[in-house]
Amino acid sequence: MTVIEARGLRKAFGTTIALDGIDLRVEEGRILGIIGPNGAGKSTALNAILGLTQYQGDLRVLGRDPWSERDQLMRDVCFIADVAVLPRWMRVSQALDYVAGVHPRFDRAKAESFLARTDIQRSSRIKELSKGMVTQLHLALVMAIDAKLLVLDEPTLGLDILYRKQFYDSLLNDYFDRSRTIVVTTHQVEDVQNVLTDLMFINRGRIVLACSMEEFESRYLEVTVRPEQVAAARALRPVNERQVFGRSILLFDQVGRQQLAALGDVRTPSIADLFVAVMGNHASQPQGVSK
């Protein structure tokens, strides 16, 4: 089943083009990571998918038009946005009561059992919780909803590494199954490298790269080239070259592993390395990928 299908998705704010004709197709059971520099159009794309912003072009999410059917769509779609959006005045128990009250697919017992594993008190107000705890609470609420699509827009922004690891572990172990679909944007690319099934780079409102993670691993190889073989390696047309501690590291697209092994140490690149390489080729000033 196709969960998200977009054709020629466009959105402009005045003269700034946020989305410049994006074609996108996300099948059920995938975990898609959308990676891009600040202002690339990631959040705009997610907002269009969630029915929070108007757009031009065709977009169907679970067979619905998000803009005109947002409240219907939200029975099957959950999202956590990049800023802390849980109302600060609310108590944890009230948040549970409210979601249980309005959401037909919320399993309160499930949310309670997630919360039992944290230090969050039912009587606390959300403004009294740490940033990590607020994210844990939001995740507990969202994971207890039997939704088909989960959209995460920078869900772990500003969290320390322990919370971030725990976040993705919970997501994979307690939530994700093959019938659910997750779309996530993040700058903390290293956190999601082993989580994603699909990868998409987006820059200036356009898709720069889209592939599955299997494809990513078979296509891209990174070689720490021995100094005497740098010239030979460069002849194979690497997509990127960088220097680390005086050694050349070259990134290749669709060059055989055996061929590269003769040049030096071969490994699968990190998403961050590929991102820097691809964005460097597409933009004159590549922007930082991780914080």
Partner 1 sequence: MNTQSNPMAESLASAAASSASTSVTRPFYWSVRRELWENRWIYLGPAAVAAVFLLGFLISTIHLPAGMRGMSIDLHHRDAIAAPYDILAGLMMLTTILVNVFYCADALYGERRDHSILFWKSMPVSDLTTVLAKASIPLVIVPLLAWATAVAAQCVMLLLSSTALLARGSSVLPLWTELSFFRMSLLLLYHIVTAHTLWPLPVYCWLLLVSGWARRATLLWAALPAVAIGGLEAIVFRTWHFAALVGTRLIGAAPAIDFGSPDTFPTNPMTHITPFNFLSSPELWFGLALGAAFLAAAVRLRRYQGPI
Binding site for partner 1 (CB under 8 A): 47, 50, 52-54, 70-75, 78-79, 81, 83-91, 94, 97-99, 101-104
Instruction: List, in sequence order, every residue forming a beta bridge with 24; answer none if it has no partner.
Output: 6
Residue 138 or 208 with smaller CB distance to partner 1: 138
Are residues 73 and 142 in contact, defined by beta-carbon separation less than 8 angstroms? no
Half-sphere exposure of 281 (CA within 13 A, CB side): 13
Between residues 127 and 257, which has the closer beta carbon with respect to partner 1? 127
- 44 vs 240, which CB is nearer to partner 1? 44
Rounded to a whole number of angstroms, the minimum distance from the CB of residue 278 to partner 1 is: 30
Q: Is the dihedral of CA 182, 187, 190, 193 positive or negative?
A: positive
**Distance, C-alpha 40 to centroid of its chain:** 13
Q: In the complex, what is the shortest distance from the CB of residue 75 to partner 1, in angstroms, rounded to a whole number?
A: 5
Q: What is the nearest approach in angstroms of partner 1 to the Cβ of residue 192? A: 21
The span from the CA of 92 to the CA of 17, in Å, is 40
Task: Count how many residues are written for the chain.
Answer: 291
Query: Which CB atom, from 74 or from 272, has the smaller least distance to partner 1?
Result: 74
The two three-digit tokens of residue 287, written as one number: 């922007």
Cβ atoms of residues 191 and 207 within 8 Å: no
Question: How are beta strands 31-35 and 198-203 bridged, if at all?
Answer: parallel
- Provide, rounded to whole angstroms, the least separation between the CB of residue 15 and partner 1: 19
CB of 147 to partner 1, least distance (A): 10
Cβ nearer to partner 1, comparing 10 with 206: 10
